[in-house]
Amino acid sequence: MYSQRPLASSVQCDGLCRAVLITGGAGCIGSDLAEALVARGQDVTVLDNLSSGRKEHLELLLGRPNFRLIEADLLDPAALDAAVSGQEMVYHLAANPDVKFADGDATDKDLRQNTLATYQLLEAMRRHGVRRLAFASTSAVYGVADTLPIAESQPCRPISLYGASKLACEGLISAFQHLFAMRCWIFRFANIVGPKVRKNGRTVISDFIDKLSKDPRRLEILGNGKQAKSYLSSSECVAGMLHVVAHAGEELNVYNLGCDDWLTVDRIADMVAAALGLRNVRYQYTGTEGGWPGDVPRFRLDVTAVNRLGWKAEHGSEAAVAEAIGAMLRHGSVGSATDNFVGRGPRSPSGRG
C-alpha cells in the first residue's frame, strides 16, 4: 500500500455513508456489494447499462425501499448526473469485462469503457461535491513483474490495453483526489471468482464448464496450462473492500486485494472435470505461454499491506475456485448445457459447498 498525507478534516465522514452509488452494480462483484450495503441499511443506487451485468443478479434487491437501479451508461451525461446527485460515496466497478484483445477488436474499447468513463464519473463527482471513491482496478496494471509476490510499490508496466486503461484510471483518480480534496481507495484485484456469470467475458471456470458440457472428452486450454494466478471469491472481495474503506484513512489508498497463493490453469481444469464427474479428459493446449496476447502468465500479489490493516482472505485460491465451480453447477449459472451433468458425480471436489 502507498498513501499520501492524512486527509483534511473538512472531507472526513463516518465510515457508513448513507447514500452510495455503485457503477457496474449488476455485475458479479457489484451485485454482491449492493446486497452487502443494502443489508447494512445504506441507500444504494446502481448504475449499469446491463451490457455485461444481469438484472437477475439484483432480483433480491429490486423493490427494496433503499435500493434503486438506473439502467444507463456512464458515458450518458444526463443519466450520470442523475445517478451521482445526492450521493456521499461511489464504488466504481463498471468497466469492459473482457480483458482479452483479439484481432479485429477496436483498440479504443478499453480507453472508452474504462478510462473515459472513469473521467466522466470523476467530473460528475466534482460537480456534485461527492468526494469519496472506491475503484476496482486490477493486477494487470503490473504487467510481467520483476519479482513475485508483487507489492503495491513495484513499477507498473502493463502489457495489455485493459491493464493500461486501468492504470490510466488510477492516474486520473490520483489527480482528482489531489486537486479536489477527495478521499479515494484503489483496489488491485486478484482474479475474482464466484457463482454468478456475466453476459460477456468468461472466466476460466465458466469457459471450462461450457466446453466440457459440450464435449466431455476434450478440453481446449488457452496457453500451456502452466499459467499460475491468485484467485479470490467475490464475497471475500467485497468483505475486503469494505474493511479497507472503513480502516484505511489516507487521502489516497492503494491496496492489493487477494490471497497469498496461486493456482495453475491445469489444476483448475482437473477440478472442473472432477466436479462434472469426468475422467480421462484430453487436454489440448494452444501452445503459448500466455492464454492470449497481453495475458500475464504468472502473478501472485503481495497482500502484506491489507493483512496488516486487519483483513486476510479466509480461503486460498483452490478453495475459492472449488466453491465457485460447485456453485455454478448447482445453480446452472453457465447455461443450459450444464443440465446434461445434473446428478453426475460430485459437485465440488474441495472447499466449502
DSSP assignment of 9-58 equals: GGG---SS-SEEEEETTTSHHHHHHHHHHHHTT-EEEEEE--SSS-GGGG
Q: What is the DSSP secondary-structure string of 111-170?
A: IIIIIIHHHHHHHHHHHHT--EEEEEEEGGGSBS-SSSSBPTTSPPB--SHHHHHHHHHH
All cell numbers assigned to 267: 489444476
Contact 291, 299 (CB under 8 A): no
pTM: 0.90
Looking at residue 334, what is its pLDDT? 58
Cα 216-221-226 angle, rounded to 5 deg: 130
Map out the domains of the chain with their CATH numbers: 2-192+232-257 (3.40.50.720), 204-229+261-299+315-341 (3.90.25.10)
Q: Which residues contact 289 (CB under 8 A, 6 or more apart)?
A: 223, 224, 226, 227, 297
Interatomic CA distance for residues 324 and 320, integer angstroms: 6
Question: Which cell goes with 254?
Answer: 492503494
How is residue 139 written as a grid cell? 493486477
Query: How is residue 163 written as a grid cell?
Result: 491493464
How far separated are the first and last CA of the chain, in Å rounded?
33
Cα 93 to chain centroid, rounded:
7
Per-residue pLDDT of the chain (353 residues; tens, 9 = 90+): 654 433 333 333 445 799 999 999 999 999 999 999 999 999 999 999 999 999 999 999 999 999 999 999 999 999 999 999 999 999 999 999 888 888 889 999 999 999 999 999 999 999 999 999 999 999 999 999 999 999 999 999 999 999 999 999 999 999 999 999 999 999 999 999 999 877 666 789 999 999 999 999 999 999 999 999 999 999 999 999 999 999 999 999 999 999 999 999 999 999 999 999 999 999 999 988 889 899 999 999 999 999 999 999 999 999 999 999 999 999 876 543 333 333 333 322 222 22
The count of other CB atoms within 10 Å of the CB of residue 80 is 24
Lookup: cell for 92: 466504481
User: How crowded is residue 323: how many other Cβ atoms within 10 Å of its Cβ?
Assistant: 23
CA 8 to chain CA mean position, Å:
30
Coil vs helix vs strand at 294: coil
75-82 long-range contacts, Cβ below 8 Å, gap at least 24? 75/112, 75/116, 75/117, 75/120, 77/120, 77/124, 79/47, 80/47, 80/120, 80/121, 80/124, 81/124, 81/127, 81/128
Q: What is the pLDDT of residue 100?
A: 85
